A and B are shown apart, each in its own frame.
Chain A
Amino acid sequence: MSQTAQRSRYVLKRLLQAVPVVLAIIVVNFFLLQLAEGDAVDVLAGEAGSATPEYMEQLREKFGLDKPLPVQLGVYMKNMLTFDLGYSFRHDMPVSKLVLDRLVPTLLLMVSTITLAVGFGIVLGLLAASSLNTWRDNVISVFALISYATPLFWVGLMMIVVFSLKLRWFPTSGMENVAMFYEGWDRVKDIAHHLVMPTLTLSLFYLALYTRLMRASMLEQSSMDYVTTARAKGLTERRIVFVHILRNALLPVVTMAGVQVGSLIGGSVIVESVFAWPGLGMLAFEALFARDLNLLLGIFLLSALLVVAINLVVDLVYSFLDPRIEVG
């Protein structure tokens, strides 16, 4: 069987295997949220200041919240299959539209963060390992240690103070300057401009992590037998480091990054709040406090789908990097 055919069969298999996983997530999440006290009607009533019990009953009936749990679950599952994520009473909008609107900014932040963290992490780790115990290695290691230990929200706030308020290089918050009605490349530039600080803040921690991982991995690989062979073959140091060691050293970093991409969705809540970035994290945060169950379920489902998809992609990337991993 050719490798491409094998890979596509593998993808098909993984997608099929994802179906029960996603179904299980829907069920588990539904019951998890039921465990929390109070429902959307309680919240609405609380915010309105006063509501008669009769009115609350009416509301519950209208939203289908008076039905027994299995019926509510059944209705929800049926809706899921038709990609109807329900209606958010708080935002007065269909959940699917709300969630998809917020998905793009989140993906934008996620992709740029992971690219920056992995890319620079690899470069810095490589630099540190190849000039071991020199000033360069020390500077990089100290930088990694500090960024590893600094809380995200503090970095975010400090960046706003320094770069937005004092230096006025970057905007303080939001994703774009809506009032300017930019179009085309101008809009792209505007969004990129807004993206810089959240990305930097969010990636700092991961950057430190990958730098340290890459450095350790490079050092471990450079004592392997095949490196001695490469030297004995009379290759240049450049070739040995960049072709032989680098590719092998990348493997643990890719594994780690793969695991963390999923957690980035959740980890971005703080950064999204600090920079008022209109992403999924922020939405989840709001939904949680407003007890907007439909919206929360929608976000959970979307995140679960994202994680499943990302894992598949990471496994495929891994099989390209390491021929010893057989997909199948």
Chain B
Amino acid sequence: MSTNKRPEGSVTQGSAAHHAANTAAKQNQARPTFLTIDQLHVQLPTGSERSYAVDDVSYSLAPQEILCLVGESGSGKSLTARAIMGLLPEPYVHYEKGKIVFQGEDLTKVTPERMRQVRGGEISMIFQEPMTALNPVMRIGDQIDEVIRFHEKQSRRERRARALNLLDDVHLPDPPRIMSAYPHELSGGQRQRAMIAMALALEPKVLIADEPTTALDVTTQAQILRLIKELQASHDTGVLFITHDFGVVADIADRVAVMQHGKIVEIGTVDKVLNAPEHPYTQALTNAVPSLIPRAVKAVNEKPILQVNELVKTYRSGNRWFGLGKTPKQVHACDHVNVSLNEGETLGIVGESGSGKSTLARCIVRLHSSDSGEIRYRGTDLCTLDRAGMRPYRSKIQMVFQDPYASLNPRATVGRIITEGPIILGETRTAAESRAREMLELVGLDSRAYERYPHEFSGGQRQRIGLARALALKPEILVADEPVSALDVSIQAQVLDLLADIRERLRLSMVFITHDLRVAAQVCDRIAVMRLGKVVEQGPTAQLFEQANHPYTQELLDAVPGREWSRMRSQSQ
């Protein structure tokens, strides 16, 4: 039934698959494979968009090889991995047919008891979100210990020595302390290291890594990728690495399989798939990856529309209570920040989590009140204004949020979401409605979306609604807080194009917050790099990318995944 569903261009798809089979066959001769997936089908519940989550997927993995499964959300890449582990979210999604042969043994046919031995012992897995993937109320040491205890007979002391060694192998400082720590006491990167230690405890033959670096900061991500590569080489492990990020693929993969709608559309060596993709989908995906070459500098109008001077915002927690309470904690989210935004310009605020970039954005929109300093909009200091005084300025500065799912009221129609602001500011209902419909068209949605509810839209469409909401107030400055980081790469490219287009058409000035230097390179005229509440460096994008002065900026630039690949691509173009 899959054949009659095939879209046009099935010839290319067929030849790609054929080619893929050829490469796979060649590799089979070169190295013995020890994990082979053969025509795997995983069924989705009836009534889903498609009947198979994983549809006729075949691939194999050799020792010491890193195979990347790439695809956008919903492509079925995670479920193929879960199927190998026998961890499908039954009863909703279940295995239907196909073989998963691991060292001559078909894992779809073994007993649950044997499967339990395989899991953790011979095939192990690490996950995306190291905070939720570890049990929050159990010490790290105990969580590592139980892997060993449930697979091998060893004394408590031997197990402890082994766990300490493992933590040392993943370069965690002070292993004894980590052993007795709870997950919430570690940083994101440390948690993921602990997770890796746990997964490698029994020297598994295969490590399945499901988006292991997606939730991490870019510098941490680079470290974890290096660690996985290092351990994979020294432990002789085959790694099945699932990701959506082509930069990561370029850095880590030996071979790549690209998945779309539950099928593998292209499989081959990393060089082949990334640099000479055959399937149109792969081509579209690789082209959607923002390049690291900054966009052309446009004539900058040296007239500042917004100036932030010596802005300070400190978060405090805990009180002393006669010396008996918690020691008060202070976080300097914004520590004497100075930035300025010229008319028609896009200023990028770049930094890792906890750098204070979102706090800065919220202070500018006056969602947070700052402790001291000035925010001057066309010469008026907004910080000194009270609620009533702020009113005429509210519509001038509008915000677009990161999470398209959480930032729209699920109980309100799109129309109400967009018209609410203008109506509050005194517009008539009819005028607000016609403007809302206009804005929906502007952001590329049908104006019939007006009557519908947010849950009826996809992530990218919701982000467009969020943008329409901001634009309905006719702002002069748009503050966008990570507007594309929750989106798939192809959708991300569309939203970025839309932002660029609207910015030109409405002559908006924009403050663009992002952690992704690729996106920043494409969008921003100038960039300010933030770290621990301070702006460590700022300047025109091209200059910053070419020659970063501050070591932290350099570190960030070096950590961008797939940097080499991007450089090669841009040279060849």
> Which A residues lie at the B interface, using CB under 8 A?
9-10, 12-13, 16-17, 224-226, 228-236, 239, 243-244, 247-248, 321-324, 326, 328
Contacts and interface: CB of A to CB of B under 8 A. Distances in A.
Given A234-B119, A239-B146, A323 B137 contact: yes
Contacts of A248: 135-137
A233 B120 contact: yes
Contact of B135 (A226, A236, A326): A226
A321 B117 contact: no
B324 A12 contact: yes
A328 B147 CA distance: 34
B318 A328 contact: yes
Interface string B195-217: 10010000000000000000000
Nearest to B134: A226
Interface in B127-153: 127, 129, 132-138, 146-147, 150-151
Interface range, B side: 20 to 34
B76 interface: no
A221 B138 CA distance: 15
B150 A239 contact: yes
B136 A226 contact: yes
A137 B133 CA distance: 28
Nearest to A1: B327
B127 A244 contact: no
B322 interface: yes
B87 A233 contact: no
A231 B84 CA distance: 13
A327 to B, nearest CB: 9
Nearest to A324: B184
A233 B85 CA distance: 10
B133 A226 contact: yes
21 contacts: A13-B321, A16-B322, A16-B324, A224-B132, A225-B132, A225-B133, A226-B133, A229-B195, A232-B87, A234-B116, A234-B147, A234-B151, A235-B116, A235-B120, A235-B147, A236-B150, A239-B146, A323-B137, A323-B182, A323-B184, A328-B325
B387 interface: no
B523 to A, nearest CB: 33
Contacts of B327: 328
Contacts of B125: 229, 232
Interface of B: 85, 87, 116-121, 124-125, 127, 129, 132-138, 146-147, 150-151, 182, 184, 195, 198, 318, 321-322, 324-327
Contacts of B146: 233, 235, 239, 243
Contacts of B324: 9-10, 12-13, 16
Top 3 closest pairs, chain A to chain B, by CB: A234-B120, A328-B326, A13-B324
Nearest to B327: A328
Contact of B121 (A17, A230, A234, A328): A234
Contact of A231 (B87, B151, B198): B87
Contacts of A326: 326
A225 B322 CA distance: 41
A129 to B, nearest CB: 16
A258 B127 CA distance: 35
B184 A228 contact: no
A229 B118 CA distance: 14
B321 A228 contact: no
A229 B134 contact: yes
A218 B253 CA distance: 39
Contact of B150 (A12, A16, A234): A234
B105 to A, nearest CB: 15
Most B CB contacts (10 A, CB to CB) among A13, A225, A233, A328 go to A233
B195 to A, nearest CB: 8
A230 B145 CA distance: 12
Nearest to A328: B326
Nearest to B184: A324
A4 to B, nearest CB: 15
A225 B129 contact: yes
Contacts of A224: 132
Contacts of B137: 247-248, 321-324
Given A234-B118, A323-B137, A323-B182, A228 B127 contact: yes
A7 to B, nearest CB: 12
Nearest to B135: A226
Contacts of A234: 116-121, 147, 150-151
Contacts of A16: 322, 324
Contacts of B198: 233
Contacts of A231: 85, 87, 119
Residue from the set B85, B195, B324 with the largest chain A CB neighbour count within 10 Å:
B324
Contacts of B132: 224-226
B134 A236 contact: no
Contacts of B118: 234
Contacts of B326: 326, 328
Contacts of B321: 13, 17
Contacts of A321: 137
Nearest to A231: B87
A232 B85 contact: yes
Nearest to B115: A234
Contacts of A17: 321
Nearest to B185: A323
Contacts of B133: 225-226, 228-229
A169 B318 CA distance: 57
B136 A244 contact: no
